[in-house]
Chains A and B, each alone.
Chain A
């Protein structure tokens, strides 16, 4: 009797230990489970309002990942990351409206164009040694300049902006009458995003990103080609944001410069999810993402009594509280609990 409990205990513990061996894998698992749950829940949701929230939640996770790779992994202060989303969105809609190219290709092209812009930004930053605050200011200035430029650029609609013709509904035009197809598209994109983020993190490249973030001079002294890896992180993050922008265009069907070159939207769509979830962690954008949009939406729906500004109040308070109370975000809190559990399991085993 005693023996059997012991055997059972050992086997159970070793199983637990194996599972608890690798925090990165657990984070990947959590991320994938959350995405799967969104998919499952969507089967039972009928209200277009809630479907819309789910689409945006998933989109914000995706764009959050794109910022997490640049700011969280490699530690570059790209504040106005939304410029890449905007460029991706414009590329997609111009290709569709002017050249009749299907958005299925257009979204990817948006990623390529945004990636090229990221390459240019990285080149300028590296060529002239823009670091930290200066780099952050540079991205914001670029956003303001781009907004004015796009307002004047008639080819992309100028101040009027650009919209999709909704009469062209259909699969090839990526315009659907219900919200489900959008959710499945963005779920697939985000799953790919989660996997890409995981493989980057696990790879040598990811280790270099982190090394640069922690101490750029030391990483450089150890032979890491810091400019190469900084550029790489920025191009990957920008390209992903561009793809997200293409999807954003197809979903909201209409964009104009003041809307997409805006710090408020930038905070909401790029920064909030990874910051709340834990910037630089693998599960951060996903865990932060499922809190970010639904909570903001809930607050706006119930507390504001129809007054505008409530969402901003929520985002602002979020950012302040997270920085002060849990600088490593939700994932950081989970990680602590995980380490405690791991210690307990290994201790009982010895």
Chain B
């Protein structure tokens, strides 16, 4: 199959739009890993919770999903901080297997609770602009996905500036480089951990909320995203902020092109293949050993 320029550009746009959400989710994952060396196996569930918060706000309060972004971010931030303080904190020095089991437990518990209270029935948020499209230079831009793309870009940038420019951001980066060093400098490592975990899952939840205007949600919707986020994080070097951002866009593009050539279902194989290949040939990712939160 050959691609005309139009289709080529269209595929790139599609890839970048999905990739921006991947980037947001992966940034959250990499932030948590970079600071406390914990792989958040419950990451996808926080994305799912973000979606359900927006659904709830829409269903009960009639709130547009974009207006519920701050609610989703705040609620999930608090939840993440509490989970970090109550559970994750206690396994920071434990065997990796115990950490994984704990977080798989959190993931299973959250999925179960959502299934119990909202049932496994698929939910949709119906907004007026759901299927709206504008065409520019022959390329079709879906309104919700365009909004999601720019929102994800802005949030990533704001988070990056926060980490680079503020005192708290500097403290987070210091803890990621050396826990004991930061402790000696008088940084309250425990609250940094809570803050980081909260932030990490909050941006992920926002990613979920941004998806709601055109995405069906079920209690297990986060799992696919979580696996993709793992791919992205490994691709962009675990613990590297910019790596996760660029990795997200790359995986979005890979999936878009694989989907164009081989069909929708096969694209997940493509990203898994990319993942396995990176693991095999460059497990340290695109950015080598640089952690760089």
Q: Which residues of A line the B interface, CB within 8 A?
A: 71, 75, 77, 79, 124, 127-130, 132-134, 136-138, 140-142, 144-145, 148-149, 151-152, 263-264, 267, 271, 275, 279, 304, 307-320, 322-324, 327
Contacts and interface: CB of A to CB of B under 8 A. Distances in A.
Interface stretch (B63-71, B96-104, B160-168, B175-183): B96-104
B269 A149 contact: yes
Interface string B98-123: 10111011111111111111011000
B133 interface: no
B265 interface: yes
A133 B96 contact: yes
A312 B112 contact: yes
Interface stretch (B19-27, B134-142, B273-281): B273-281
B259 to A, nearest CB: 12
B230 A316 contact: no
A141 B269 contact: no
B267 to A, nearest CB: 9
B91 A323 contact: yes
A267 B108 contact: yes
Contact residues on B (Cβ < 8 Å of other chain), bracket = 35 or more
28 contacts: A75-B95, A127-B280, A128-B281, A137-B234, A141-B227, A141-B272, A144-B227, A145-B276, A148-B269, A264-B108, A271-B101, A279-B97, A307-B119, A308-B115, A308-B116, A309-B116, A310-B116, A312-B112, A313-B116, A315-B109, A315-B112, A316-B105, A316-B107, A316-B112, A317-B105, A319-B108, A320-B109, A324-B102
Contacts of A322: 101
A134 B26 CA distance: 16
Nearest to B238: A133
Interface residue SS majority, chain A: helix
A148 B283 CA distance: 24
Contact of A140 (B91, B102, B227, B266): B227
A144 B272 contact: yes
Nearest to B279: A138
B276 A142 contact: yes
Interface in B3-50: 39
B292 to A, nearest CB: 18
Contacts of B102: 319-320, 323-324
Contact of B39 (A133, A141, A144, A319): A133
